């Protein structure tokens, strides 16, 4: 008889199970147990797989007419009383999230919103590291936390030709450590680069913005450069600590002189006010372009800037093929692109105003200026001129990491 009852209840439960939530399953089991009388809890438990304690709780709820532990009312649309269920790991262990971020921060290999993240540690390895730090956590919980923090699994994309430099990761660590030292001493750290050249004129700008229906902005069909307006070279300087940006919009050539002039203007317009006691300046830059580590004019112009400001200027270059890890790309340039999406860059004034109006929810502030100076190409600097500068090169990859000491003027 007992076996037949169990079979009957099991069949009924399996039919209803896909349509029942946690509370409904419990109450169904409780109702069946009450209807069976003595021994009903055991029979229903074997038939449904629901624990005896849960069924016993359901019986008490049905007999009392109140759903919830100790008569606690359950809000509409909920299946548990307030506070029910297991607590989240981050609630029980408030330092778990910050410790996970500390493991990833200096070594992540792709999150642009945090400086110098490049690691590829697996969730299992991260879980093991967290356990060593005293946390009780599984690799599955680490995966959930990483998702909350904005990480996801990313496939490789073929965009870089050649192989990565063998010391790439060590250089990232070197840059990260130097950044920390400068920031601890309240000395400025800036990320610099030239944004993509932009055509000036009534040309299509990718992206969309809200407008009345069937009323798009009409632009030129062909993107032929305007002979009078030409292109602009927005050179950016991003202050990492203060979350502030400076963009020098050049209308001539993107040369090393233009790059250093942009840094000079940032210092005179923003940097000297933010860091009145600064004695040192750290610059992180790509390894190529107008601020490349092989460009002699870049070094000569930086020495001039060091002499003018009286500051010691240290430069750290990102290894070849890693320009997207430069902080300015995702803290400044990406937001500028979002701000002017769908808007034709019809004039210099429009470009400057759109850049200067760029903000973010995290408090980014941007200033912008048009640079009408001429920067001729083809200026040759010989090796001897660079050697005379007395550049102090780091022991680790001195070609990527070097410092300029300001030269004191000789007494007349």
Taking the CA atoms of residue 347, residue 352, residue 357 and residue 362 in that order, the dihedral angle to the nearest 10 degrees is 130
Cα–Cα distances in angstroms (integers) from residue 122 to residues 150, 153, 164, in the given order: 15, 10, 21
| Whole-number pLDDT of residue 109 | 44
118/110 Cα distance (integer angstroms)? 6
In the structure, what pLDDT confidence band is assigned to residue 272 with cuts at 50, 70 and 90?
Answer: very high
Q: Please answer whether residues 210 and 146 qualify as being in contact, where contact means their C-beta atoms are separated by less than 8 angstroms.
A: no
β-strand partners of 180: none
Q: Per-residue pLDDT for 166 more than 60?
A: yes
- Contact residues for 329 (Cβ-Cβ < 8 A; gap 6+): 112, 193, 323
Residue 156 has pLDDT above 80, yes or no: no
Q: What is the dihedral of CA 38, 39, 43, 48, to 10 degrees?
A: 80
**Which secondary structure element, helix H or strand E, spans residue 32, and what is its range?**
helix 22-36
Q: What is the mean pLDDT of the chain?
A: 84
Q: For 306-329, what is each residue's pLDDT tens digit?
A: 999 999 999 999 998 888 888 999
Q: Which distant-in-sequence residues (6+ apart) come within 8 Å of 53 by Cβ?
A: none
Which residue carries 């992540």 as its tokens? 108
pLDDT value of position 88: 61
Running DSSP on this structure, what letter comes out for residue 5? H
- CB atoms near residue 43 (< 10 Å): 20
The helix or strand, by DSSP H or E, that contains position 192, with its residue range, turns out to be strand 189-194
Question: Is the model more confident about 225 or about 187?
Answer: 187
By CB neighbour count within 10 A (0-12 exposed, 13-18 middle, 19+ buried), where does 234 fall? Answer: buried
At 217, the pLDDT band (50, 70, 90 cuts) reads: confident
What residue spans of 240-394 are helical by DSSP H?
A: 256-266, 272-274, 296-309, 327-328, 334-339, 348-356, 383-387
Q: What are phi and psi of 190, to 5 degrees?
A: -125, 150
* Pairing between β-strand 189-194 and β-strand 280-285 as defined by DSSP bridges: parallel
Q: Each residue of 45-60: pLDDT tens digit? A: 998 989 999 999 889 8
* 261 vs 203: which has the higher pLDDT: 261
Six token digits for residue 339? 């701000």
CB 104 within 8 A of CB 143: no
- Of 285, 356, 359, which is closest to residue 325 (Cα–Cα)? 285
Would you state the pLDDT for residue 116? 34
Q: What is the mean pLDDT of residues 329-338?
A: 93
Helices (H) and strands (E) in the chain, counts: 16, 9
Residue 303, Cα to own-chain centre: how many angstroms? 33
How far apart (Å, rounded) are the C-alpha atoms in residues 103 and 121?
Answer: 9
Q: What pLDDT sits at residue 91? A: 60
- 404: which DSSP letter? E
pLDDT tens profile 335-361: 999 989 888 899 999 999 999 999 999
Residue 168 vs residue 110, higher pLDDT: 168
In the predicted model, is pLDDT for residue 92 greater than 80? Answer: no
The share of the chain scoring above pLDDT 90, in percent, equals 44
The pLDDT, as a whole number, for residue 183 is 94
């Amino acid at each position: 008889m007992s076996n037949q009852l169990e079979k009957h209840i099991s069949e009924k439960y399996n039919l209803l199970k896909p349509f029942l939530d946690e509370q409904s399953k419990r109450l169904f089991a409780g109702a069946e147990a009450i209807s069976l009388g003595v021994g009903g809890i055991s029979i229903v438990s074997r038939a449904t797989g629901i624990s005896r304690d849960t069924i016993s709780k359901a019986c008490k709820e049905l007999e009392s007419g109140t759903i919830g532990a100790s008569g606690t009312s359950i809000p509409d649309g909920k299946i548990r009383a307030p506070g029910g269920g297991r607590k989240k790991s981050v609630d029980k262990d408030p330092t778990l999230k910050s410790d996970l971020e500390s493991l990833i921060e200096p070594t992540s290999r792709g999150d642009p919103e945090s400086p110098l993240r490049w690691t590829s540690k697996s969730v299992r390895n991260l879980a093991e590291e967290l356990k060593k730090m005293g946390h009780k956590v599984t690799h599955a919980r680490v995966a959930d936390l990483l998702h909350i923090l904005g990480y996801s699994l990313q496939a490789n994309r073929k965009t870089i030709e050649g192989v990565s430099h063998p010391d790439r990761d060590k250089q990232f660590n070197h840059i990260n450590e130097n950044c920390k030292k400068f920031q601890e001493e309240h000395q400025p750290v800036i990320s610099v680069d030239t944004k993509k050249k932009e055509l000036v004129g009534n040309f299509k700008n990718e992206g969309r913005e809200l407008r009345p229906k069937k009323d798009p902005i009409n632009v030129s069909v062909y993107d032929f450069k305007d002979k009078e307006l030409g292109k602009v070279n927005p050179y950016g300087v991003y202050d990492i600590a203060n979350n502030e940006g400076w963009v020098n919009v050049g209308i001539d050539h993107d040369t090393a002189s233009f790059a250093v002039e942009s840094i000079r203007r940032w210092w005179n317009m923003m940097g000297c006010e933010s860091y009145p006691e600064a004695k040192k300046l750290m610059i992180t830059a790509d390894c190529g372009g107008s601020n490349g580590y092989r460009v002699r004019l870049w070094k000569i112009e930086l020495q001039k800037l060091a002499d003018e400001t009286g500051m010691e200027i240290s430069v750290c270059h990102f290894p070849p093929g890693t320009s997207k890890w430069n902080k300015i790309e995702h803290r400044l340039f990406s937001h500028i692109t979002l701000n002017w999406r769908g808007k034709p860059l019809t004039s210099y004034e429009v470009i400057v105003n759109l850049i200067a109006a760029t903000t973010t929810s995290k408090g980014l502030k941007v200033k912008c200026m048009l640079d009408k100076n001429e920067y001729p190409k083809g200026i040759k600097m010989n090796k001897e001129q660079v050697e005379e500068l007395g550049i102090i090169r780091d022991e680790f990859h001195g070609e990527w990491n070097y410092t300029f000491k300001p030269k004191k003027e000789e007494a007349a």
